Amino acid sequence: MIAGQRIKRLTDAMQESGLDAMLVYGNAWQGDYLRYATDFGILEGQALAIVRGDGHITLYVDSALEADRAALDCPGIEVVLAPDLTGEVEAALDRMRNQSMGAAPQRLLPRRIALRAGGLKITDETGFVDRLLMRKLDEEIDAIRRAAKLADEGYKVFMQAVRPGRADYELIAEAEAFFRANGVDDNFQIIGVGGVEVKGMAPPSGKRLKRGDMVTTELTPCVEGYYAQICRTLVLGEANAEQKAAHALWREAMEAGIATVRPGITAADIAKAENDVFRKHGMGQYTTSEYTRVRGHGMGLFADSKPHILEDVTTRIEEGMALIVHPNTYHPVVGYMVLGDGVAVTDDGCEVLTGTPRELFSIAV
């Protein structure tokens, strides 16, 4: 089981670092630290877990429904229903105050506990857990590889759902139905429909498709807790010359980024390779935060995990990382466009996990 291997890896690393215990936080959005340590994918409320060096794990949740679910999903750990989550965990930490303890992610700890971190001898070990999250076991990469295959298949379903008059949520519903039927318990997906007025992707709003629209989406299905993402753009009808030219630029940028991926470089190097293509074509301003957020990011137990691919992120790329390289941004003539492939970092480069052609797809109308 991947979960057992992760927990052993975590406790072995704690022992090597002289940590007696680790306090881990999770909520329904930022759940990867908690999932790594407990294998519990929280859906509502908040949770804190205390992982001891001997492998004993106590999971505190503030929802009765989540407590019941955790007891079923995670039989190997102690589950505590704690309506006063902060108070009960704080009391447990007081009983451990002579031990060496770390916490992750420190920035999300309940304020009352964070204010007592010094007195409780709790150090910020976010980076410590980040390294485990980013550099994955072979079994974790295999789960991401399987999720990427389902992402490819899900995009085919998405394309088949596209036709004039349909609402954007209908497209997403068909992709969701496919994923659920194939054992995917979560999928992060956003969408953009229209033309030059579209500045990015968002949750569906009921916008109806018409001839000439570009439809952008990223699908991020989850397998055994691991997410893999694909980003693609299609046109409802025949793509025009401007759309084709823009997509060629996006493809050049993405392929430049992927060609850069190998152990020893940094996240900044990947971002710069992508951005330099835009600069070469006089589009450098569209690589800034005014028009785009990241040039890619990690894939794993969170849909948008570290490292973020930006020119100021110096995180070293290592074998065993999984990333999506996506130069998603705005084009002043055709609107927002996306293109992204998932990759796994190997000892001498990377394995591309996405199989969908790197095309600007045209849907006949």
Per residue in 236-257, pLDDT (tens digit) is: 999 999 999 999 999 999 999 9
Question: Where do the domains of the chain lie, and which CATH numbers do they carry?
Answer: 2-134 (3.40.350.10), 138-363 (3.90.230.10)
3-state SS class at 52: strand
pLDDT at 254: 98
Per-residue pLDDT reduced to its tens digit, 63-102: 999 999 999 999 999 999 999 999 999 999 999 988 999 9
The 10 Å CB-count burial string (b at 16+, else e) for 119-133 is ebbbbebbebbbebb
φ, ψ of residue 38 in degrees (nearest 5): -125, -20
Per-residue pLDDT reduced to its tens digit, 97-129: 889 999 999 999 999 999 999 999 999 999 999
Nearest residue to 90 (alpha-carbon basis) of 113, 60, 106: 113
Per-residue pLDDT reduced to its tens digit, 130-143: 999 999 999 999 99
CA distance 286 to 290: 7
The residues near 243 (Cβ < 8 Å, ≥ 6 apart) are 214, 235, 334, 360
Q: Which tokens belong to 325?
A: 């390289």
Taken as a whole, the chain contains a residue count of: 365
CA distance 200 to 116: 41
Per-residue pLDDT reduced to its tens digit, 22-61: 999 999 999 999 999 999 999 999 999 999 999 999 999 9
φ, ψ of residue 98 in degrees (nearest 5): -90, 5
pLDDT at 1 over 90: no
> 335-337 and 361-363 as β-strands: parallel, antiparallel, unpaired?
unpaired
| Contact (CB, 8 A) for 28 and 43 | yes
pLDDT at 162: 98
CA distance 172 to 275: 30
Confidence at 292, pLDDT banded by 50, 70, 90: very high
CA distance 294 to 275: 11
Q: In what order do the strands lie in the sheet with 350-352?
A: 296-298, 322-325, 341-345, 350-352
| Contact (CB, 8 A) for 214 and 192 | yes
pLDDT at 225: 95
If you average pLDDT over residues 292-314, what whole number do you get? 97
φ, ψ of residue 93 in degrees (nearest 5): -65, -35
Confidence at 362, pLDDT banded by 50, 70, 90: very high
